[in-house]
Structure 1
Amino acid sequence: MRTETFGGLILLAATAVALIWANSPVSGSYTALRDLHLGPESLHLSLSLEDWAKDGLLAIFFFVAGLELKRELVIGELNDFKAAILPVVAAVGGMVVPALIALGVGWGEPGIERAWAIPVATDIAFALGVLAITASGLPNSLRLFLLSLAVVDDLGAILLIAVLFTTSFNLLAAGAAVVLLALYAFLQHRRVTTPWLYVPIAVGTWAAVHAAGVHATIAGVALALLTRVHKDHYEHEAPALRLEHRLQPWSAAVAVPVFALFAAGVPVNGGALGALVTDRLALAVVLGLVVGKVVGIVGASALAVLLKAAVWPNGAGPRDIVAVAMLGGVGFTVSLLIADLALEGHAAEQAKTAVLVASLASSLLASVLLVRRSRAHRRADSDD
């Protein structure tokens, strides 16, 4: 369960189950289960199962991804500034260009003033799952490039949600989150290892971030970036590596598939699919994800390398970046969330269908390109 290929297969299986269930004669049972509320109302934590999966379980995935990102930034391949800056620049390009395309295509349509943000996000869980299944022959540096890009991308999307769609911000809860994060960092500095302190702090941080009105998965990233990655002489492994090893199976086999089960159940019908070519708002979302992401990521990366501000990932080149950039169009989770926040009624359902179609198209196109690039790298390795 620690292999990403296994996790990717479970993820795709859960997605297929969700789509079939949500479009079957018993779709009502899917909706009832997805909308079932659990949790204490007094603490404002009475959430639907979909929200618990999206905000709670996905925070575990973001924590594991953040641990790997921190490790690579400090002691890994991203330790070099020019290597680390490339995915950041690519993420910015992959947010700006889709937004501009969406605005251009949907200009004048009701709701576009908020819906332009829908194609900005990349779904890190789905993108890494597809990469794990289709790109076994590619250099690991490309996976790190996608991981870093997607984390920056998701943080940017979460920031957009906070700016555009947060109706209330709880300053007291935000302050509590900062205090708990500072306590976590202090305990890491003091080399405290007991989970009896860290688990309550992590849960409390998540609850405080959620109560503050910010997307709660950011708590996972923040905690991961504060985790120590250098091991002391008396330690077998550093805390970041130890936590990553222990939590990876739970992330791959439980957190991400359950999230996919509740997030992927989008009703799709022939009318909705046909409207994608006539509805300018839906078309804006599709083109923003499928075209805008590739153009933005590849264009920004090439410009950064051309200006000598960054370097291509180790062992990879522009063609590899194009293949990986195609995965940027897998918007899914955060894109669906933004569609819910930005639009209502039929427009929201149409935008969700557009996200689903664009994510599927990007996955298939990326898979073809990644398989071809994997074969090219294997041939090059065998020739050497």
Structure 2
Amino acid sequence: MSQPSILKSAVRNFSALFRADAFEGILLIAVAIIAMVVANSDVSNAYFEMFYGYMWSKDVFYLNTLHLWINDGLMVIFFFVVGLEVKRELISGNLSDPKARNLPILAAIAGMAAPAAVYMFVAGGEPALVRGWAIPAATDIAFAMGVVGLLGTRVPSALRLFLLTVAIVDDIGAVTIIAVFYTETIKMEYLAAAAAVVGVMVAMNRMRVSAMAPFVLLTVALWYCVLYSGVHATIAGVLAALTIPMHGKKGNAMLEDMEHAMVPWNAYIVVPLFGFANAGVDISDLGIDALLDPLPLAVAAGLVVGKQVGIFSMVWAAVKVGFVEKPAGSTWVEIWGVSILCGIGFTMSLFIGELAFQGTGETMRLLRDEAKIGILTGSLISAVLGYGILRLTTSHPETQDDPKSPVV
């Protein structure tokens, strides 16, 4: 290859990192690395004090640390965007077509059940670890699609769509898990108030109210009610999103416009800030053999082994019995590679890990840190292994002919 061709290829590969779908994943990787470096540096005390230092007593307001404001407050925006995406997909997207949604729904269900089973098997049924069963259950959309974005057209469009839909169904399952399994006490008066707010928002939807200000104000009110009800506050984001009208009175695409407006804020501010606040782990307290402890090993095994086994085996079985068709233009090796990429948990796994081992004691803190080590390790292995398989086994030579195609 001539020197100009090498230079052109290098420029093309570098620019591929900054494509929208790829950059989000690269950003999350960078944030996780920075958080780990800072948490184990000379400024680690300042890092943990910034996020976990108390602002005031919980008697004043429930959210009394910056970490809680991010996880229980700012992440409502993340779940709001998830809710908008889910509603759009259910009404006019891939999940609205029974034939198109059967395979990813089956794959997502298996891809949540198998990691949980692997986790419980590796964890050995230890009572202290049982609550972490759902940590490896969800796929990080931005991270997984970012890796696929680096591969350009090497991944068939039908398989990209399959991965995206599986991740969306995963999000639906994760939200349900949070609401059902990580809610311990319920305050009925606040839950009733939340139901009333949702009722008003549904009525506004039926009247096709086009102004966003009333929806925004009621979303804040709903968040406050859910925050004190005992159900995790971020569920308010999903509920509020489901009440946003698809179209305003003038026929404008209200929900889609709002989704497009919020996605950049969510992808480049909310999720990275959440990752920076939650991915930092002081590994000096855990020891060099921390990865061999039951919790991080169970989480990593759930992500790396459980995800690919659950999803790939379900797809293979459903296709072989004739229930569904294989994603168009895809080989079994490519489907396997994408199944591995579904083991990138990151955002939702970190979130569930925080809920699973809540508490202020040293034991709970160590469990949260071990869960993070397992999440980061499992997600990294899944990303590298999935990328490697798809990169080396591709059978789509059209990438060689398209100068705009990102191939890394």
Tell me whether the two structures share a fold, i.e. TM-score over 0.5.
yes
Q: How does 1:48-63 map to 2 (within 5 A)?
A: 48-63=65-80
Is the counterpart of residue 249 in structure 1 residue 264 in structure 2? yes
Tell me by how many angstroms 1:210 deviates.
2.4
Q: What is the aligned partner in structure 2 of residue 376 from structure 1?
A: 395
Q: How does 1:202-213 map to 2 (within 5 A)?
A: 202-213=219-230
Is the counterpart of residue 20 in structure 1 residue 37 in structure 2? yes
Q: CA RMSD in A?
A: 3.2
Q: What is the aligned partner in structure 2 of residue 357 from structure 1?
A: 377
Q: What is the aligned partner in structure 2 of residue 200 from structure 1?
A: 217
Is the counterpart of residue 240 in structure 1 residue 221 in structure 2? no
Q: Secondary structure at the match of 1:344?
A: helix
Q: Report the AA paired with residue 242 of structure 1.
A: D
- 1:7 corresponds, among 16, 24, 28, to 24
Q: Report the AA paired with residue 218 of structure 1.
A: I
For the structure 1 residues 195 and 43, does the alpha-carbon distance in structure 2 shift closer, same or farther, using more than 3 Å as the test?
Answer: farther
Q: Secondary structure at the match of 1:283?
A: helix
Tell me by how many angstroms 1:140 deviates.
4.8
- 1:86 corresponds, among 95, 103, 107, to 103
Moved over 6 A (4+): none
Is the counterpart of residue 259 in structure 1 residue 274 in structure 2? yes
Q: Report the AA paired with residue 380 of structure 2.
A: L
Q: Report the AA paired with residue 327 of structure 1.
A: L
Q: What is the aligned partner in structure 2 of residue 332 from structure 1?
A: 346
Tell me by how many angstroms 1:22 deviates.
0.9
Q: What is the aligned partner in structure 2 of residue 290 from structure 1?
A: 304
Tell me by how many angstroms 1:117 deviates.
3.2
- 1:303 corresponds, among 280, 304, 317, to 317
For the structure 1 residues 89 and 106, does the alpha-carbon distance in structure 2 shift closer, same or farther, using more than 3 Å as the test?
Answer: same
Taking the aligned partners of 1:118 and 1:356, their CA distance within structure 2 comes to 12
Q: Judge conservation of contact 1:109–1:281 (CA < 8 Å) in 2.
A: no
Taking the aligned partners of 2:91 and 2:46, their CA distance within structure 1 comes to 47
Q: Deviations over 1:207-246 (max 9, x none)?
A: 22222222333332333333333576x43x4111110221
- Note the residue ranges of structure 2 that are not aligned, 5 or more in a row: 1-17, 358-362, 403-408
Is the counterpart of residue 118 in structure 1 residue 138 in structure 2? no
Taking the aligned partners of 1:70 and 1:357, their CA distance within structure 2 comes to 32
- Note the residue ranges of structure 1 that are not aligned, 5 or more in a row: none
Q: Report the AA paired with residue 149 of structure 1.
A: V
Q: Secondary structure at the match of 2:395?
A: helix
Q: What is the aligned partner in structure 2 of residue 367 from structure 1?
A: 387
Q: Report the AA paired with residue 301 of structure 2.
A: L
Is the counterpart of residue 274 in structure 1 residue 293 in structure 2? no
Taking the aligned partners of 1:65 and 1:158, their CA distance within structure 2 comes to 10
Q: Judge conservation of contact 1:282–1:354 (CA < 8 Å) in 2.
A: yes
Identity of aligned residues (%): 39
Tell me by how many angstroms 1:2 deviates.
9.8
- 2:237 corresponds, among 212, 220, 239, to 220
Q: What is the aligned partner in structure 1 of residue 12 from structure 2?
A: none
TM-score of the aligned structures, taking structure 1 as reference length? 0.85
Q: Deviations over 1:76-117 (max 9, x none)?
A: 333310212322222211121112222222225452433333
For the structure 1 residues 358 and 196, does the alpha-carbon distance in structure 2 shift closer, same or farther, using more than 3 Å as the test?
Answer: same
Count, aligned residues: 379
For the structure 1 residues 251 and 350, does the alpha-carbon distance in structure 2 shift closer, same or farther, using more than 3 Å as the test?
Answer: closer
Q: Judge conservation of contact 2:82–2:171 (CA < 8 Å) in 1.
A: no
Q: Judge conservation of contact 1:9–1:129 (CA < 8 Å) in 2.
A: yes
Taking the aligned partners of 1:320 and 1:22, their CA distance within structure 2 comes to 37
Taking the aligned partners of 2:392 and 2:72, their CA distance within structure 1 comes to 36
Q: Report the AA paired with residue 375 of structure 2.
A: V
Is the counterpart of residue 31 in structure 1 residue 51 in structure 2? no
Taking the aligned partners of 2:19 and 2:218, their CA distance within structure 1 comes to 26
User: Mean alpha-carbon deviation: is it higher for 172-181 or for 122-131?
Assistant: 122-131
Is the counterpart of residue 322 in structure 1 residue 342 in structure 2? no
Q: Judge conservation of contact 1:155–1:218 (CA < 8 Å) in 2.
A: no
Taking the aligned partners of 1:195 and 1:2, their CA distance within structure 2 comes to 30
Computing the radius of gyration over CA atoms, which structure comes out larger, 1 or 2? 2
Q: What is the aligned partner in structure 2 of residue 77 from structure 1?
A: 94
Taking the aligned partners of 1:252 and 1:141, their CA distance within structure 2 comes to 24
Q: Judge conservation of contact 2:94–2:100 (CA < 8 Å) in 1.
A: yes
For the structure 1 residues 127 and 192, does the alpha-carbon distance in structure 2 shift closer, same or farther, using more than 3 Å as the test?
Answer: same
